[in-house]
């Protein structure tokens, strides 16, 4: 059940609180925004993430301000949004968007154990592009030392979903303008070979068939 902090107040009919829906949204996205405060100043940082069961992992440079603050365990707000359509109503006031979004509140803590850290980095990699981790050079000690990984438990959360057509005031349905939905989706284009690709290396199947739909 939602906590007082995650209960959706605005448009509560769009609220979803079950883990299955939240996990589907998280697994389809790969960019989150991490919000936190430092000495009263709020920051919101975009970063990639990965999920394993009820754990969310984010990473970045060990020198980054965000990750330095999180080392002691800092309250964070993680958001992920999938935009799926522009909803054009007859009234400007009733224009909207179709979307699925997730908000997670919790405390981010630094992953110290080297084995867990490496496993988390694999989760991040496989979340973005399944199959790439085993097909790439593994991180060396210097790279691991320069990278921080943070763990955020998926315990206090809510989702918000808006789908469907425009909803106008009854008197506006006779207004003479077009109304409807402009669908939006992210898709992968044709892979482009690197200029220094070794001869004979073909695009792997996991790249040719890449998609964010899960």
User: What pLDDT was estimated at residue 6?
Assistant: 83
Say if residue 90's pLDDT is above 80: yes
Give the chain's mean pLDDT: 91
Task: Tell me whether residue 145 is in a domain.
Answer: yes
Task: Tell me whether residue 29 is in a domain.
Answer: yes
Q: Which residues pair with 42 in a beta bridge?
A: 37
Instruction: Count Cα atoms within 13 angstroms, Cβ side, for 71.
Output: 12
Task: Tell me whether residue 6 is in a domain.
Answer: no
Q: Percentage of the chain surpassing pLDDT 90?
A: 72
The CATH number of residue 133's host domain is: 2.30.110.10
Element (H, E) at 22: helix 19-28
What is the distance between the alpha carbons of residues 140 and 62, in angstroms, rounded to a whole number?
A: 15
Task: Tell me whether residue 4 is in a domain.
Answer: no
Vertex 130: Cα angle to 102 and 140 (nearest 5): 105
CA-closest candidate to residue 50, choices 41, 59, 37? 59
| DSSP 3-state of 46 | strand
Q: In sequence order, which residues have a C-beta less than 8 Å from that of residue 35 and are 6 or more positions away?
A: 42, 43, 44, 45, 76, 77, 78, 79
pLDDT digits (tens, 9 = 90+) for 42-89: 989 999 999 999 999 998 776 566 666 666 678 999 999 999 999 999
What is the distance between the alpha carbons of residues 128 and 63, in angstroms, rounded to a whole number?
A: 23
pLDDT digits (tens, 9 = 90+) for 159-207: 999 999 999 999 999 999 999 999 999 889 999 999 999 999 999 999 9
CA-closest candidate to residue 186, choices 207, 166, 211? 211
What is the distance between the alpha carbons of residues 44 and 61, in angstroms, rounded to a whole number?
A: 16
Tokens encoding 104: 């997670």
E strand intervals along 17-128: 31-38, 41-52, 55-61, 74-88, 96-110
Task: Tell me whether residue 1 is in a domain.
Answer: no
Mean pLDDT is lowest, of 22-26, 42-46, 64-68, 121-125, for 64-68
Task: Tell me whether residue 140 is in a domain.
Answer: yes
Say if residue 213's pLDDT is above 80: no
What is the distance between the alpha carbons of residues 157 and 41, in angstroms, rounded to a whole number?
A: 23
Q: Which residues pair with 156 in a beta bridge?
A: 105
Total domains present in the chain: 1
Task: Tell me whether residue 58 is in a domain.
Answer: yes
Say if residue 14's pLDDT is above 70: yes
Q: Is 195 exposed, middle or buried (0-12, 13-18, 19+ CB in 10 A)?
A: exposed
pTM of the entire predicted model = 0.90
* 159 phi/psi in degrees, rounded to 5: -120, 160
Of the two residues 213 and 39, the one the predictor is more confident about is 39
Task: Tell me whether residue 136 is in a domain.
Answer: yes
Residue 188: domain span: 12-208
């Amino acid at each position: 059940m939602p906590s007082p902090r995650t209960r959706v107040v605005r448009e509560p009919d769009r609220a979803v609180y079950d883990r299955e829906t939240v996990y589907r949204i998280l697994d389809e996205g790969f960019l989150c925004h991490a919000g936190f405060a430092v000495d009263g100043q709020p920051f919101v940082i975009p970063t990639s993430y990965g999920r394993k069961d009820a754990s969310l992992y984010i990473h970045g440079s060990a020198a980054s301000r965000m990750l330095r603050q999180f080392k002691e365990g800092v309250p964070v707000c993680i958001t992920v949004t999938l935009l799926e359509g522009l909803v054009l109503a007859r009234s400007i006031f009733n224009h909207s968007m179709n979307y699925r979004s997730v908000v997670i509140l919790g405390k981010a803590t630094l992953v110290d154990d080297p084995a867990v850290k490496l496993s988390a980095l694999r989760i991040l990699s496989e979340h973005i592009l399944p199959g790439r981790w085993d097909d790439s050079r593994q991180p060396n000690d210097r790279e691991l030392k320069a990278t921080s990984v943070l763990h955020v438990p998926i315990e206090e959360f809510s989702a918000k979903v808006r789908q469907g057509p425009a909803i106008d005031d009854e008197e506006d349905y006779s207004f003479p303008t077009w109304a409807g939905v402009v669908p939006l989706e992210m898709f992968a284009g044709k892979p482009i070979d690197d200029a220094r690709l070794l001869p004979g290396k073909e695009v792997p199947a996991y790249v040719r068939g890449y998609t964010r739909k899960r």
